[in-house]
Chains A and B, each alone.
Chain A
Amino acid sequence: MNDLSFYFGLIFSGLVIKNVLLAQFLGLCPFIGVSKKTSSAVGMGLAVTFVLVVASMISYAFYYLVQVPFNIEFLRTISFVIIIASIVQLIEVITKKYMTTLYESLGVYLPLITTNCAVLGIALLNINYGYDFLGTLLYSLGSGLGFLLVIVLFSAIREKLELLDIPKAFQGLPIALVTAAFMSLAFIGFGGIL
Chain B
Amino acid sequence: MKISDIFKNGIYKKNSIFIMLLGLCPTLAVTISLFNGIGMGISVLAILTMSNILISLLRKIIPAAIRIPAYIGIIAALVTIIEMLIHAYIPSLYVSLGIYLPLIVVNCIILERAESFASKNNVLHSAFDGMAVGLGFSFALILISFFRELLGTGTVLGFQVLPASTNMLVMILPPGAFLTLGILLGVINHYLNKKKEELENE
Contacts and interface: CB of A to CB of B under 8 A. Distances in A.
Interface of A: 22-29, 32, 74-78, 81-82, 85, 115-117, 120-121, 124-125, 128, 167-171, 173-178, 180-182, 184-185, 188
Contacts of B189: 168-171, 174
Contacts of B190: 168-169
Contacts of B80: 74-75, 77-78
B134 interface: no
Interface in B38-84: 69, 72-73, 76-77, 79-80, 83-84
B174 interface: yes
A99 to B, nearest CB: 25
Q: Interface extent on B, as a size class?
A: 35 or more
Contact of A178 (B24, B26, B77, B178): B178
B179 A181 contact: yes
Contacts, number: 118
Interface in B1-50: 21-22, 24-26, 28-29
A85 B69 CA distance: 8
B186 interface: yes
Contacts of A115: 106, 108, 111
Contacts of A169: 186-187, 189-190, 193
A173 B186 CA distance: 8
A131 B54 CA distance: 37
Given A82-B73, A173-B21, A76 B102 contact: yes
Secondary structure call for the B interface:
helix
Nearest to A29: B108
Contacts of B22: 29
B106 A120 contact: yes
Given A81-B106, A82-B76, A181-B177, 14 more contacts: A23-B174, A28-B25, A77-B79, A77-B105, A117-B106, A117-B107, A124-B99, A169-B189, A170-B186, A175-B182, A177-B182, A178-B179, A184-B175, A184-B178
Contacts of B26: 25
A188 B185 contact: no
Nearest to B76: A78
B130 interface: no
B157 interface: no
Interface string B115-157: 0000000000000000000000000000000000000000000
A121 B84 CA distance: 18
B193 A168 contact: yes
A173 B29 CA distance: 18
A124 to B, nearest CB: 5
A153 B24 CA distance: 20
Contacts of B90: none
B28 A120 contact: no
Contact of A24 (B29, B76, B79): B29
A152 B71 CA distance: 32
Contact of B25 (A75, A117, A125, A177): A117
Contacts of A27: 25
26 contacts: A25-B24, A25-B174, A25-B177, A28-B24, A28-B25, A28-B28, A32-B24, A74-B80, A82-B73, A115-B106, A115-B111, A117-B25, A120-B103, A120-B105, A120-B106, A121-B25, A128-B99, A169-B187, A169-B190, A174-B186, A175-B186, A178-B182, A181-B178, A181-B182, A184-B174, A188-B174
